[in-house]
Chains A and B, each alone.
Chain A
Amino acid sequence: MKPENTDRPGEHWSLPPLLGETDSPEIHEIHRSILQRERLEPQEGAEPAPWWVWAVSVAVLFCMGIYLGRYGGSFKPVAHELEMGSAGAASTASARPAPNGADIFSAICITCHQAGGTGIEGKYPPLAGSEWIAKDAGIPVRIVLNGLEGPIQVKGKQFVNQMPSIGAQLEDDEIAAVLSFVRSSWGNSSGKVPTELVTKLRRETAGQGAWTADKLNAIGGKP
């Protein structure tokens, strides 16, 4: 191979004039001095790779082989295989721990009814001290199962809003748990809601749209 720079010996390669000072012998001088201070172009050393680098590499490969066997799944296009078996999300989790009412409240009701069940003035009625949950447990069960809309009077204040039906999101025992929690927190003290009541009302009110305060009163739940 013939190096190119010998083609035109002595030729002067100058840097482009920049925005400030233009090309001058002085600039060349600076460039040269920078290049003179430079070290050789990098070379490859010939040290062997340390033995432990190979050892660690083999060990990592080995572990990952085991990992593949353990977590690889069935190579089918199924998500969540490790948690839910090869039928994926289609299978329902069988053993479920007993639901915790406080957790369900924090997960669902709190967005609207706020921490402490205080509600928001003019928007969301309070659950703390509400007459609607106090007496007949069937009333709040119906509200959670099917939703509630239209004007309603809670603790002497008027609300006109709409609460979605939450029945499809929660199992019977979960509704019982969250309402038991609500009925015994923040000064409320009206006791537990049995799961059987939820099951019964779910069956009876199937197909029922959102409740209104009037309809609930008509059932006899008037506080």
Chain B
Amino acid sequence: MIFIRLWMFFAGVLAVLFLGWVGLVGAPGVQLAALPAQTGLRPYTYQQEHGRQIYIREGCVYCHTQQTRPPGFGGDQGRRWGRPSVPGDYVFDQPHLLGTSRTGPDLLNIGARQPSAEWHYAHLFNPRAVVPQSIMPRFPWLFELKAAADPGEPVVDAPAEFRPGGGVITPTREGVDLVEYLRGMDRTYPVKP
């Protein structure tokens, strides 16, 4: 017999699950909840939060991380992706988007690295127009083809093949908000312990 009494088996089974939960979720949860947000960190604006939803919807997280590793651990510092990130950098993130794959570069500080909205529009519309060897998907549905841009509206620098019959390509509200989110990604403020 695997146990003296059947209830002991069930008790054991429940106990191991509970222990694991305490160790991996409960205890760190209590510790982390006591940490303050980093002072340099701003909550997302409404527009950025909407952009974040687009980021989730399009599954950017399956190719991009948002976590930077310390010196001596991988090439993150050498690649200048930003100082090592700490728990206080993420307090406004729900859901978290730390990610597990770097098919593309880390984006935790993409706003500091690439503040140009135009670059982002051109890149999202067709990454290979900007980085010829890229394997990142295009996101043409975040853009629309128009006869002419409204005043002040950004225009994507796209070759004529994408504009049958002329006209201009402009980002939709979703595209604009996504880029706002990306441009706001900046955790370069100094860390407070």
Contacts and interface: CB of A to CB of B under 8 A. Distances in A.
Q: Indicate if A touches B (C-beta under 8 A).
A: yes
B99 to A, nearest CB: 16
A62 B79 CA distance: 38
Contacts, number: 66
Contact of B32 (A77, A80, A168, A170): A77
A89 B145 CA distance: 46
B83 interface: yes
Interface residues on A, range: 20 to 34
Nearest to B71: A93
Interface stretch (A104-112, A190-198, A215-223): A104-112
Interface in A73-129: 76-77, 79-80, 83-84, 87-90, 93, 103-104, 107-108, 111, 120, 123
B183 to A, nearest CB: 10
A169 B193 contact: no
A169 B112 contact: yes
Contacts of B167: none
Contacts of B70: 80, 83-84, 89
Interface stretch (B13-21, B52-60, B113-121, B169-177): B113-121
Contacts of B31: 76-77
A84 to B, nearest CB: 6
A150 interface: no
Contacts of B118: 161-162
Contacts of A89: 70, 83-86, 191
Nearest to A162: B116
Chain B CB within 10 A, most for which of A76, A88, A168, A170: A88
B84 A107 contact: no
A90 B190 CA distance: 8
The majority secondary structure among interface residues of chain A is mixed
B80 interface: yes
B71 A83 contact: yes
A112 B106 CA distance: 17
A108 B80 contact: yes
A164 B113 contact: yes
B47 interface: no
A76 to B, nearest CB: 7
Contacts of A162: 116, 118
Contact of B35 (A77, A107, A161): A77
B87 A79 contact: yes
Contacts of B113: 108, 164, 169
Contacts of A108: 80, 113
Contacts of B69: 80
Interface in B83-142: 83-87, 112-116, 118, 130-131
A107 B78 contact: yes
A53 B189 CA distance: 52
B31 to A, nearest CB: 4
B34 interface: yes
Contacts of A76: 31
Given A77-B35, A89-B86, A111-B131, 17 more contacts: A76-B31, A77-B31, A77-B87, A79-B85, A79-B86, A80-B86, A83-B73, A84-B84, A87-B193, A89-B85, A90-B192, A107-B78, A108-B113, A164-B112, A168-B188, A169-B80, A169-B113
